[in-house]
Structure 1
Amino acid sequence: MRAAETTCETWRKSSYSGEGDGNNCVEIATSPTHTAVRDSKAPARATLTFPAAAFTHFLAVLKAPVRKP
């Protein structure tokens, strides 16, 4: 994802960001092909960019129930 595709208007905060200390969390910006992730407390610092399919898979794994051995 190029910097031009991730303007301030396209970044959105995690739904888990709440009031108080929780309001600084992660932000994401999406495009049809990629998802970018950044720290909302330091938005000018490095951004991680993932192919859309990989990020979708990552979210699915996070949401899956934990299996006990």
Structure 2
Amino acid sequence: MQHTPELISARWRRSSYSNANGGECVEITEDFPGVVPVRDSKTPNGPALVVTAGSWTAFVAALKG
């Protein structure tokens, strides 16, 4: 059984494609081995999607391709 990481003390970083106006941004934290929590920067207290590190890597590669 996989447990959801505790995200209270996570250090989030915003996408490098974000603009200075704060627009529609994605934030991730790399503080958790094996998983990548992802959230919407407009709702930092809202839910986070937690995906496996391999899935995140494949997703980013597909976006770049």
State how 1:1-69 maps to structure 2 within 5 Å. 1-4=4-7, 7-8=9-10, 10-22=11-23, 24-30=24-30, 31-64=32-65
Query: RMSD between aligned alpha carbons?
Result: 1.8
Identity of aligned residues (%): 41
Task: Provide the TM-score with structure 2 as the length reference.
Answer: 0.78
Unmatched runs of 5 consecutive residues or more in structure 2: none
Cα offset for 1:21? 4.6
Choose between structure 1 and 2: higher helix proportion. Answer: 1
Which has the higher Rg, Structure 1 or Structure 2?
1
In structure 1, stretches of 5+ residues that fail to align are: 65-69
TM-score by length of 1: 0.75
> Cα distance 1:21–1:52, how it changes in 2: closer, same or farther (>3 A)?
closer
Task: Please identify runs of 4+ aligned residues in structure 1 that moved more than 4 A.
Answer: none
What is the aligned residue count?
A: 61
